[in-house]
Amino acid sequence: MPLEGPARIVSELTSRGYNAEREAVTRIAAAENPEALLERVVEELPADALVVRTDHVDSALERTGPVGGGDDDAGDGSDDRVGATASGGATTGRDDGAGGGSGEGDDHDAGARSHPSVSTGTEAPTAGESSDRSPVETEGSGNGAGRSVDPDLRSLEIDGDMTGESTGTGAYEDFVAVFRDRLERLGSSLRSRINHRPATAIQSMPGGSEVGMVGLVNDVRSTASGHWLIELEDATGTFPWLVMKDREYVDLVDELLRDEVLAMEGTLSDDAGIAFVDSMHFPDVPRTHQPSTADRHVQAALISDVHVGSEEFMADAWSRFADWLSTAEAQHVEYLLIAGDMVEGVGIYPDQDEELEIVDIYEQYEAFNEYLKEVPGDVEIVMIPGNHDAVRLAEPQPGFDEDLREIMSAHDARIVSNPSTVTLEGVSVLLYHGVSLDEVIAELPEEKASYDEPHKAMYQLLKKRHVAPQFGGHTRLAPEEKDYLVIDEVPDIFHTGHVHKLGFGKYHNVLAINSGCWQAQTDFQKSVNIDPDSGYAPIVDLDTLDVTVQKFS
């Protein structure tokens, strides 16, 4: 793909999501090997850069010396990713700059983007085309002509799969038990951070006392004078906390969801009937969190919401994806994680039957199984159910029953509950379908969570350390003896679907990815202005946690 001139350079950069200063383009064009220089510049761009500037080009030239003709590698480090990037304009995650900012002052969004530029699967090299990596051919079980993999290098562990472990009966006591477990587990780290007291103890303290409490959010109300009243509940009782409208913490009030776990510190009023909030603490992910990475260059494709059986299922895009997986370019994609909604299901939404291509649920799974067969046999598949699947709707959702496993057995996929954690060569991935995202997006202000930036809604779940905090709304909860929806261990990657929008970014170094869908816009979605991101496959490098997006639609 020679870069013949400035126009070509501009279009190459645009295809990767960057604008460029005119002088920067001129300098790249004047280099002896513009193609290699462009690769180097892009590689060295700061994560939050939106525009390729002249100084980026200069520093790429300075740091590594002039780019010689012919030798297209950067010389130092010989990063494998250069190959992947060069082959199709795939981009690594960077800030798309909601609001066009430089990303300063908010590291939550470092690496975030909602509309990544993508490479097109249809342009992917065909099987057998040369790759600039030279993998060792093995006797692996690969069936893709261009793939060569060594299954012995893999490791895959599952945690938190509650399939077959369900004990709840839905009785009142079960709900009490599950909330108690939530408060116990999420509260333990908060209790070590503040000087806390049970609600009943606070109720008997004198006015003016300094107090702290860890509890579930029971209620959030605004007062007549514009302050906020938050009722916290623990195992002993409840206590009201007042956030004054002029305190800095007032910005956090609009993030609160009922039933999330929180710690507050403050001062009791003179009559000791209420506490004025001085500080608020969330279970959260430590800012210093260091994710684990794989020891070798290996990738995982993170997809969701296939919706086989729907008239809008994009069979052609799926087949292009499967064909691409069979190419040499995709040979490092050794894992495929599917975050729910394998099929369209029946009776999920009103009038859904008018858009069904396959009306029988078992036949939908049979068809899905046929599509799975297109995926190279050496790709390890892990999947969880979603709200369209034929398992109970209430969360946690156990993995598919024996009949459905039998139907979907062609690819020997691992079927686990929603949510579950799968650890791939040391990299833990929390898989959750994402029904609670609708609620987070509905409750929070646009800039904190929206369909266009679904990863920001995911940040909130990470901050609350719970995949579906709010009970009694959209998200249904099946009470079990423990709360399987608590995020006990900080994952390295958090993968959801459901909202049919592609978006990813990093929150305290955790990569959050919502992976879009394989279903074109339905009539219902049209009526409510949901514009789905269909036919994309985000690919994660497990050795670096960089993301590239392949487009097949």
Which positions ≥6 away from 132 have C-beta within 8 Å?
82, 83, 86
Based on CB atoms, which residue is closest to ligand D5M, 134 or 527? Answer: 527
Q: Indicate the Cα dihedral angle 242, 246, 252, 255, nearest 10°.
A: 80
What mask of x and - would describe binding to Fe ion in positions 262 to 291, judged by CB under 5 A? ------------------------------
Whether the bond into 398 is cis, omega within 30 of 0 = no
Which tokens in the block code for residue 404? Answer: 């459905």
Rounded to a whole number of angstroms, the minimum distance from the CB of residue 90 to ligand D5M is 26
387 binds ligand D5M (CB under 6 A): yes
Q: What is the DSSP string of 203-246?
A: HTSPTT-EEEEEEEEEEEEE-TTS-EEEEEE-SS-EEEEEE-TT
Q: What HEC string does 348-387 produce?
A: CCCCHHHHECCCCHHHHHHHHHHHHHCCCCCCEEEECCCC
Based on CB atoms, which residue is closest to ligand D5M, 330 or 343? Answer: 343
Interface residue with Zn ion, options 39, 234, 305, 389 (CB under 5 A): 305
395 binds ligand D5M (CB under 6 A): no
- Residues 541 and 235: their CA atoms lie apart, in Å, by 44
174 class by beta-carbon count within 10 Å (0-12 exposed, 13-18 middle, 19+ buried)? middle
Based on CB atoms, which residue is closest to ligand D5M, 299 or 417? Answer: 417
Which positions ≥6 away from 197 have C-beta within 8 Å?
205, 211, 212, 213
Q: 3-state DSSP call for residue 339?
A: coil
Question: Nearest to residue 327, comparing CAs of 536, 81, 80, 88?
Answer: 88
Interface residue with ligand D5M, options 29, 499, 511, 545 (CB under 6 A): 499
- Residues 193 and 263: their CA atoms lie apart, in Å, by 9
Q: Which amino acid is at 443?
A: E
- Residues 313 and 307: their CA atoms lie apart, in Å, by 6
Rounded to a whole number of angstroms, the minimum distance from the CB of residue 498 to Zn ion is 5
Rounded to a whole number of angstroms, the minimum distance from the CB of residue 499 to Zn ion is 8
Distance of CA 155 to the CA centre of its chain: 21
* DSSP symbol at 119: E
- Residues 94 and 45: their CA atoms lie apart, in Å, by 10
Based on CB atoms, which residue is closest to ligand D5M, 54 or 525? Answer: 525
Q: Which does 524 bind (CB under 5 to 8 A by kind): Zn ion, ligand D5M, Fe ion, none?
A: ligand D5M
Stretch binding ligand D5M (CB under 6 A), from 85-93, 125-133, 401-409, 495-503: 495-503
Stretch binding ligand D5M (CB under 6 A), from 29-37, 167-175, 309-317, 492-500: 492-500
What mask of x and - would describe binding to ligand D5M in positions 409 to 438, judged by CB under 6 A? -----------------------------x
Rounded to a whole number of angstroms, the minimum distance from the CB of residue 342 to Fe ion is 10
Interface residue with Zn ion, options 39, 234, 260, 341 (CB under 5 A): 341
Based on CB atoms, which residue is closest to ligand D5M, 305 or 334? Answer: 305
Distance of CA 309 to the CA centre of its chain: 25
Interface residue with ligand D5M, options 16, 465, 482, 498 (CB under 6 A): 498
Q: Which of residues 347-366 bind ligand D5M (CB under 6 A)?
A: 349
User: What's the chain's length in residues?
Assistant: 553
- Residues 121 and 318: their CA atoms lie apart, in Å, by 10
Rounded to a whole number of angstroms, the minimum distance from the CB of residue 304 to ligand D5M is 9
Q: Which does 349 bind (CB under 5 to 8 A by kind): Fe ion, Zn ion, ligand D5M, none?
A: ligand D5M
329 binds ligand D5M (CB under 6 A): no
Rg (CA), the chain: 25
Q: Which does 499 bind (CB under 5 to 8 A by kind): ligand D5M, Fe ion, Zn ion, none?
A: ligand D5M
Rounded to a whole number of angstroms, the minimum distance from the CB of residue 87 to ligand D5M is 32
Rounded to a whole number of angstroms, the minimum distance from the CB of residue 170 to ligand D5M is 23
Interface residue with ligand D5M, options 96, 161, 259, 305 (CB under 6 A): 305
Q: Which of residues 506-545 bind ligand D5M (CB under 6 A)?
A: 524-525, 530
Alpha-carbon distance values, 291 to 46, 67, 405, 458 (Å): 20, 34, 33, 17
Rounded to a whole number of angstroms, the minimum distance from the CB of residue 284 to ligand D5M is 25
Asked whether 233 and 241 are in contact (CB, 8 A), the reply is no
Q: Which of residues 477-536 bind Fe ion (CB under 5 A)?
A: 498
Which tokens in the block code for residue 130? Answer: 């040369």
Stretch binding ligand D5M (CB under 6 A), from 55-63, 171-179, 494-502, 539-547: 494-502
Based on CB atoms, which residue is closest to Zn ion, 341 or 492? Answer: 341
Rounded to a whole number of angstroms, the minimum distance from the CB of residue 377 to Fe ion is 28
- Taking residue 211's Cβ as centre, other Cβ atoms within 10 Å add up to 22
Based on CB atoms, which residue is closest to Zn ion, 312 or 480? Answer: 312
Rounded to a whole number of angstroms, the minimum distance from the CB of residue 531 to ligand D5M is 11
Q: Which of residues 334-393 bind Fe ion (CB under 5 A)?
A: 341, 386-387
C-beta nearest to ligand D5M: residue: 349
Rounded to a whole number of angstroms, the minimum distance from the CB of residue 263 to ligand D5M is 31
CA 167, 170, 171, 173 torsion-angle sign:
positive
Q: Which does 464 bind (CB under 5 to 8 A by kind): ligand D5M, Fe ion, Zn ion, none?
A: none
* DSSP symbol at 163: T
Phi and psi at residue 214, in whole multiples of 5°? -115, 125
Residues in the site for Fe ion, rule: CB under 5 A? 341, 386-387, 498
Residues in the site for ligand D5M, rule: CB under 6 A? 305, 341, 349, 387-388, 438, 498-500, 524-525, 530
Residues in the site for Zn ion, rule: CB under 5 A? 305, 341
